[in-house]
Chains A and B, each alone.
Chain A
């Protein structure tokens, strides 16, 4: 039972990264459907980073756990940001359609991932993964508390920390207030002296970096350092999770856990035909989407300017 929950939590971290990143992005008014692609790019960055680090070592025994985790995280973040940069450049600077740009980014990111990673030398990845998965308490026979709370890798704690920080920033700081204003009503934000473009770039780049960590988390935490190209599917679940958590990172923590449990339940219950169970997160999301639109409460609606470009001299 505890093992099952632990597994669900590990899985949920991936969604949480994607969702937190996407929430930040959407709060600025960018409906970034490129998030799955950005997660792929994060995975590429993480793998390339770890690979580059391993390349400098003469033997795997020299590997410094702290260094490898840090390099992986930084590289994944930077590559995610690169995806975000492409997206923001096209949508903010060149004012392209957001949906179209996002979908292209997803195709491109997923393609790039299998293109780059299919030929990468994976030496040292499983060792690196062990460092990524090292928790406060390690070992086989742990009590329930340690299993459930202390035995996760860095990336899982980081995901929750980032989500909490994002929630606080959005709710409790002026930066968050300004960001929400940009997503709700860019003309007003602009009139209040907030640079809409800058905030959108800033939010999208940060969000993309965070989403990029999701890709890294998948490879290094869930897959134990092997490579698989399912990241895109995780990305779409993350987009769904944003709706499910009604654009609140703190709710996304709960939501991701629920999604993690739902998806993990299929494996745990040993059901042969998992097709329908795997649709559950999407079904639940649709239900939430419908319910919030029927209730039509202002606070639970998507940011009002979601999906629209902003250009000041438009008349």
Chain B
């Protein structure tokens, strides 16, 4: 089948301050195909697509749609060119219903005055013609009189033509009115593609996948021909992903171009016709999916062939440091985000936590750190400096935990929004966790200054000075500052949530090495990761959670990716499964005890 180019990018460049997000990108997308944009975090995938969707405006370069150069300065322009984007962070108004969100911003159909004039003229001429040709004798009877065509004089025609502007206004007003029919119109689109959704439901009552459905229907409703999906599967269960892919195939078959931004290779292979690989903002290549394989794509994505080769030493002196038992917590909407979670974190060991995004990883770490309200269960800490005495951490504030002598360090997922204060300099950020020390009501900035200098030097943080606002540093350097500070507190438990997210390979390895160093020092390290390869190569044990429940604890050295993937997406955990998992935990605990 002949393929036509739907959209073509030529020499697109975009910079943010000093950061080059995209550099001289050339790319084309055909009608009726699924194109994957593949790249690591921070490779500029989303920025590139945002430029097509009108969120950003390119510094340089041209965009062609159907061979014509276009200027896309706003999302409005993008819609005009039938481009629709489904963002990773849903752009929905919480207090509106689904239907209202879908029709939001819809423009009235264009009232083409010239065509309307022609239409009226034709109509009148037609009827006049019929009037002239009308033979009354052929249509006898009283009823026929009513059906008789009417003759329109020129004056009548002109009157009608003059009323057209008012008709235009009338139609605009009618369009502007929010009739109850609006739900029906949207519903028909939803039905056509087989979406199951209550369109009158308010967005704040919806689950993530429902919200995504609303986003997709919204774009379809607008009649988009080019759909961009930004990491659509990140938040979905396997079943939901299957459904989504079906929809995508449907759309492709009806001639739409679909662009999927992703970094998941298996999905790329499954759904796309072609793959465009981006690396560090540059377009590396576009290949047909059928003619490539995961290995080759990975190489293009990361540049050179890397096997991770993270040094992993055998744990020694393994003792339980942190024991979590039957932990249950609910969020503010009453949904169980943590459901009966039990595990131990041991000194000298890295415990990995795997799971699809939003399975309760954040809540689990925050619960341990005293930031999330726990409803049931126990969290206890074995204090190595105090005769291995058990300390109860449940429902303590972070300050109380520290006062109990528990050395708990926590590298949260949201670095600048939680772990650090973006507008403060390095020195002030150093004392975030320690500023309370001492009885003076004044701050001591000397020790933090020394610490900041030390971290800058040892971790090779690139910064103009220690008095630079952290916000101005690059992602990797921000993370070094944060991890450096947490490690400087010489913790006995170190929790790190997605510590390498958005970092380049070098910085990532710096972080892995830091974690390994801590492990060798006898710290119990808890590592929440998203990249399964990293988890398998870095961690000694991997705890898998799904929808707030533990679905398994796997030995890191023996773990297989597929097995983890399976555990991560297990939707219903039956009772037997749990008991088996508990058995494994028990066995491992016993083993740990023997080793000791």
Residues of A within 8 A of B (CB): 171-178, 180-181, 184-185, 187-195, 298-299, 304, 312-313, 315
Contact = CB atoms under 8 A, between A and B. Distances in A.
Contacts of A175: 176
A191 B94 contact: no
B177 A194 contact: no
Interface residues of B, number: 31
B93 A184 contact: yes
B178 interface: yes
Contacts of B105: 178, 181, 189, 192-194
A193 B74 contact: yes
A174 B74 contact: no
Interface stretch (B96-104, B247-255, B525-533, B549-557): B96-104
Interface string B177-208: 11000000000000000000000001010000
A194 B175 CA distance: 16
Nearest to B79: A193
Given A181-B93, A185-B91, A298-B95, A193 B107 contact: yes
A171 B180 CA distance: 12
Interface string B1-25: 0000000000000001000000000
B204 A191 contact: no
Nearest to B19: A315
B204 A298 contact: yes
A315 B85 CA distance: 18
B106 interface: yes
Contacts of A313: 56-57
B87 interface: yes
A174 B76 contact: no
A187 B54 CA distance: 12
Given A193-B105, A315-B16, A174 B175 contact: yes
Contacts of B106: 174
Counting chain A CB atoms within 10 Å of each CB, which of B56, B105, B204, B218 scores highest? B105
22 contacts: A172-B177, A172-B178, A174-B177, A174-B178, A175-B176, A177-B96, A178-B105, A180-B95, A184-B93, A188-B91, A189-B93, A191-B53, A191-B85, A191-B91, A192-B75, A192-B105, A193-B74, A193-B78, A194-B105, A195-B74, A299-B95, A315-B16
Contact of B178 (A177, A189, A304): A177
B87 A191 contact: yes
Contacts of A191: 53, 55, 75, 85, 87, 91
B177 A173 contact: yes
A76 B400 CA distance: 61
Q: Is the interface of A mostly helix, strand, loop or mixed?
A: helix
Contacts of B85: 191
4 closest A-B pairs by CB: A192-B105, A193-B76, A188-B91, A191-B91
A8 B76 CA distance: 47
Interface string B44-73: 000000000101110000000000000000
Contacts of A184: 93-96
Contacts of A315: 16
Contacts of A195: 74, 76
A172 B175 CA distance: 11
B92 interface: yes
Nearest to B57: A313
B49 to A, nearest CB: 13
Contacts of A193: 74-76, 78-79, 105, 107
Contacts of B107: 193
A304 B103 contact: no
A194 B100 CA distance: 14
A282 to B, nearest CB: 27
A167 to B, nearest CB: 13
A195 B53 CA distance: 15
B103 to A, nearest CB: 7
A172 to B, nearest CB: 5
Nearest to B332: A296
Contacts of B104: 177-178, 181, 188-189, 192, 194
Contacts of B56: 313
B91 A187 contact: yes
Nearest to A169: B176
Given A174-B106, A194-B104, A315-B16, A188 B76 contact: no
Contacts of B87: 191
Given A175-B176, A177-B96, 13 more contacts: A171-B178, A172-B177, A174-B175, A177-B178, A185-B94, A188-B93, A190-B75, A191-B53, A191-B85, A193-B105, A195-B74, A298-B95, A298-B204
B119 to A, nearest CB: 26
B176 A173 contact: yes
A90 B152 CA distance: 57
A192 B91 contact: yes
A176 B177 CA distance: 10
A188 B92 contact: yes
A205 B93 CA distance: 24
A174 B79 CA distance: 18
A229 B56 CA distance: 48
Contacts of A187: 91
